[in-house]
Structure 1
Amino acid sequence: MVKVFMPQSLKEALRIRKEEKAIPFAGGTDLMVKRGRLRGLAPYFEKPVLFLHKVKELTGVKFEEGRVRIGALSTLSEILENRDIPLILKYAIAEIASPAIRNLATIGGNICNASPAGDTLPPLYVMNARVVLSSFTSEREMKIMDFIKGPGSTDLKEEELLKEIIIPVEFFNIVFYRKVGTRKANSLSKVSFAGVARLDDGIIKDIRISFGAVAPTPLRAPEIEEEIIGKNKVKIIAKIPDILEKYARIIRPIDDQRSTARYRKTISLKILEYFLKEEIK
């Protein structure tokens, strides 16, 4: 029989995490699939389970000092309905699963699942999001791009919990998200794309691009973005072949049951080309 803990506070949760090495359980929408429940099997947990739904310190969305702070236990539905959340993240969440799933699924779970096809990750990458990781004795903060290490792998230590996600509030007048899946929402991504830009007097002052499901982790290449910054539409159009070639070198999708590597690479570059040609005006 699995030992279960239901802490009432973050301090209690972190103590249990430290002493028992318990598995964090939030909405369970990803974890139960991993543990076999949705394949008709009884879920299997090799360690105690730490139910976090009563830990209020992990919930809520706050806007302060030019940053949005999202509690890791905030559901996707709560985030979708909050006016302080950047549009690019809302666009992605609106295409995740069904309303019933979004009512359960948490942003912390989606991040810690670390799926290359995780829908919230490309928007969080382009918004330069950071994660706050808490243990019983300390707390640390790091870029989400550094937190995600590989498929299903993060920098979360055995005694830590993801406490919150911090997003700097920045202005972009071009916000574009595209998900390619078997169905519009209730499916895993074959490819996802998040792009934001700030255009001032016809010149790109900032641009950020991220792909999902085309590499072991969500893909962002700031060094290629830098080559676009400072250019007008005419110069960007002229540079598109070079930009596409550079992204083609680093896009490394796989064949799986949802799609082929060839299709993923082709459609990724097509979406990027559309973003640069049609969305930047």
Structure 2
Amino acid sequence: MPNKSKTSWLLKLSKRRKFVLISLLLSFGIMIVQAITNDLSRYIIIGVLAIFSILLTIWSLKEDLHKIAWFIAPILPTYFITALNLFYFLLPENIFVRIGLILLFAIGMYSLLLTENIFVVGALRTIQLLRAAQASGFVFSLFISFLLFDTVFSFRLSPWINSLLVFPISFPLILQAIWSSTLDEKLEKPVLWYSLILAWVLTQGALFISMWPVSIVIASLFLVTIMYVGLGIIQQALLDRLFPQTVREYVQVGIIVLVIIFFAARWGGGS
């Protein structure tokens, strides 16, 4: 009887309470990662948390999940917890940094789950706040990409390896971001092709910027800018809102960042 009552309690939870519960549980998981000193064990726990994130996201949204949404909805939450855990390795070991990271994750995960909920419901029927959710998902996609690109460049691998790593990192993020602008029940060919093309462009960008004498942050910013411009133009094109002024605005942002990168480069050969 006690087990049955616990199960029924979980089943009766509202979506928002599920989101709060998931955020707290996964935040506790991040605390475990921070407490572990062995690198291999940390990576194992990060992988376990990623799997839990997938399962918990599906559990919280399963009432409205349909077709392709079963696979796309967990992408951002899973990438978010993975990116923050990996990025934590690059931060100074400080109690305030740890607390700040956990708070950032808890608030961010709750917001992400709300965003994904709007997406899966919006794919079934007209819903308010869809524009706000799309903007939120867009920002989260760029933020998560920056953390992951920064992690890749921090290993100081060869340009070719950086390029190879960027594709599997960026493709799922791009796919879900483009899908969120259309919310189709199945994965349409234009969405898939646009995702593949932009991910390929990012791999070439990673190869290019890895050969430039720039800092890790600048290199990551360069890739995020490509993603920002590419996603922005693709999303507007799919929504039939791609006007010349819109293209100019996105291209101007790209040019400004390129100029910043050029002047930020250490042409003197410093490390």
TM-score using structure 2 length: 0.32
> Which structure's residues are more often strand, by fraction?
1
> Which structure's residues are more often helix, by fraction?
2
